[in-house]
Chain A
Amino acid sequence: MADFNVNLRDVGNVSIIDVKGYLDAHTAPELENVFNKLLDGKQFKVVVNFNDLKYISSAGLGVFMAYVETMRENKGDIKFSNMKESVYNIFDLLGFPILYEFYKEELEAIQKFNLQGQA
């Protein structure tokens, strides 16, 4: 059984979700739980750090689709960072880059939130 791990931490007023291992139909519910926790806490600014993610299936991608609108409706967003090329290719193949912001480094994504906050 492939391993998946998800961890939540805060940097300023931005929530960072670290995902690790294999995100597929089996493990997608764990990520979903984290997003539900964020919604409960009215935390809408989210960066997902993919540094340790090895694989993502469409069920995993679906979780982001399911929550992004709520985040945006509340002046937040889901931004992606530190993605391996193999993982990015899957996002790219399904057309995610026109709907989501991708950053090389987590910090850039956080800064983008902070800039938007000032504007």
Chain B
Amino acid sequence: MQTQDNNATLRNFAALVDFSNLVNSSLDINFALSNILLTCFGKFHTTKGMTVLIDDDGLLKVSAAKGINKEIINAFPKVYAQDKDSLEKIENYIKEFNFPICMQIKSSEATKGYLILGNRLTNKPYEQEDLDFLNTLLNVGATAIENSLIVEKLKKVNRNLDGKVNQLSSLFDLSKEFSGILQTETIGKLLVYSLIGQMLVSKYSVITCSENSITFLENRFDEESLRIAFKKCDSNKFVKPVSSEEMIGELKIFSDLGVDLIVPMQIKNETKGLIILGKRKNNLQYTRSDIEFVSSVGSLAIISIENARLFKETLEKQRLEKDLETARNIQKNLLPKKIPQFSNIEIAAYNSSARMVGGDYFDIVKFDQDKILIAVADVSGKGVPAALLMANLQAFLKSICKQKLPLSEATNLMNDLVAENTTLGSFITFFWGIFDNAKNEFTYVNAGHNPPLHVYNGKIDKLKKGGMILGVLPTTVPYISDTIKLNSKDTIVLFTDGITEAMNINGEEFTDENLEGLVLKAANNSSEEILESIKLAVEEYTVGAEQSDDITCLVLKVK
């Protein structure tokens, strides 16, 4: 009897050593579980057994089973280790399916799960000695299971880490590449390659959006349908990533098109574009980490796209500025470069445009030894359109001068030409006069221009005679001219509204009164000095304000 007991103990011990060696030789969890079951089968002559392990979420899950049919396995209750009724549910289960053994698998740290065994083929019950053996077996087994689980977890963590490293190197790769590209198309292409390579998708779209319109950079969805979808649902509304389960209500139209993820590309919290992705080819959902990756790539791309756009805009602007500079030079050449001087009269002139080019015009043309034409005009509007019309006016004036017509007739002709050649709404206020050096007479026509000031003996006369502004209608009422006699020291000041309407920082105008007062006070000075004091007064008045209109001023002084 004693020998028999010893033999049995020896056998048990040998079995345990065998088991221990085997189960610790591999870190594969399935191998460990399978060996626990097989060792039990051999030792107890049973044919049914399973192990239930607690997974990461605390749920009890059948992890290995032998000799048990699927229905019974599937009948294992869905229960969390933490649940109060977990033991009760397991007990009910083993009772129902007639498993005599249910033992905890316990490592030094915690319960790992349960071992469940069926009846012995010999129909003998499990003795205390068997249970002791099982206990020892599971103690050894638990360590192996724990090790395997840790290795499994490490593998998973490692793979996730590899994935992250890969995403990071992709981001790095792209940021390096994007920084050197200024073509939006190339940026779009690289963005798409990175996304579909990383996410395994074949349906995708990258769009940029401005106020009301969307532009497709890359697209493998049906463009028309997507456009319709965005008409119903404004692209600017996408301020954070939308995954397929969030595409409900008005967004459902996108999931119907096969869209699985929409990620906005933002600059300073403003959505400038969208990345639209279809289902992944490996049938996986987009994880949070995936969406983060798409977002990061998108942010990199949209900054580059924006840079490319700004670069293009800057180029365009530079070209335009160069054109304007040329136009400015051309326009400058249309104004008299040098002011001709005469024996009986001195002339000073000043012109300055509020913008690169302007709509003010003045001219001084010597007719012959005694006659000199002085003209000043203000074309409606400012900038390029005004400058073009001003150039036209200059051409008309030069050719009409050649015809040596009486001034009133010349003005009729001038008006007809301007009216014929301007579009609706453009007009010119115009004043011109001829100074006769021999007779000291000044004959003028004023076509709606700010009346020039004739200053003499401390008085001012305004030169108003003429007719309506140029360009509104063809001449029906002929213009009339007036001739005034000039005496020594008489001054005539011609100007555009840029002087009298010059604004200070409070938006108040310089006014006619101001100009008149100034001119009266300076009347005894030379034409240059009078012009200087007007310029200075306007400059002082407008300190701090932007020049709002073109400014022209001419001062004639009879010697």
Contacts and interface: CB of A to CB of B under 8 A. Distances in A.
Interface of A: 24-26, 28-29, 32, 57-66, 68-69, 89-90, 93-96, 98-99
B106 to A, nearest CB: 36
Given A59-B174, A94-B200, A25 B193 contact: yes
A61 B284 CA distance: 18
B162 interface: yes
B197 A59 contact: yes
B201 interface: yes
A58 B170 contact: yes
B166 A59 contact: no
Interface in B279-325: 281-282, 284
Interface of B: 159, 162-163, 166-167, 169-170, 173-174, 176-178, 186, 189-190, 192-198, 200-202, 281-282, 284
B166 A25 contact: no
A57 B173 contact: yes
Contacts of B202: 65-66, 68-69
Given A24-B177, A25-B177, A28-B190, A65 B196 contact: yes
B197 A63 contact: yes
Contact of B282 (A25, A61, A68, A95): A95
B191 to A, nearest CB: 9
29 contacts: A25-B174, A25-B190, A26-B176, A28-B190, A29-B186, A32-B189, A57-B194, A58-B170, A58-B195, A59-B174, A59-B177, A59-B197, A62-B198, A63-B197, A65-B193, A65-B197, A65-B202, A66-B192, A66-B196, A94-B166, A94-B198, A94-B200, A95-B200, A95-B281, A95-B284, A98-B282, A99-B200, A99-B281, A99-B282
A90 to B, nearest CB: 6
Given A89-B162, A93-B166, A95-B284, A58 B190 contact: no
A89 B200 CA distance: 15
B200 A65 contact: yes
B193 A90 contact: no
Nearest to A69: B202
**Which 10 A-B pairs have CB atoms at the shortest separation, nearest pair first?**
A62-B193, A61-B197, A62-B197, A25-B177, A58-B197, A58-B198, A65-B196, A58-B170, A95-B282, A59-B193
Nearest to A96: B200
Contact of A59 (B159, B170, B201, B282): B170
Contacts of B193: 25, 28, 32, 58-63, 65-66
Contact of B197 (A26, A60, A69): A60
A90 B282 CA distance: 15
B290 to A, nearest CB: 11
Nearest to B280: A95
B281 to A, nearest CB: 5
Contacts of B178: 25
B179 to A, nearest CB: 11
Contacts of A28: 190, 193
A63 B189 CA distance: 10
Nearest to A98: B282
A61 B200 CA distance: 9
Contacts of B282: 95, 98-99
A65 B201 contact: yes
Nearest to A97: B282
Nearest to A57: B173
B194 A59 contact: yes
A90 B170 CA distance: 11
Nearest to A22: B173
Given A26-B177, A93-B162, A95-B284, A62 B169 contact: no
Contact of B170 (A57, A68, A95, A99): A57
A59 B173 contact: yes
Contacts of A90: 166
Given A89-B162, A95-B284, A24 B173 contact: yes
A101 to B, nearest CB: 14
A72 B551 CA distance: 73
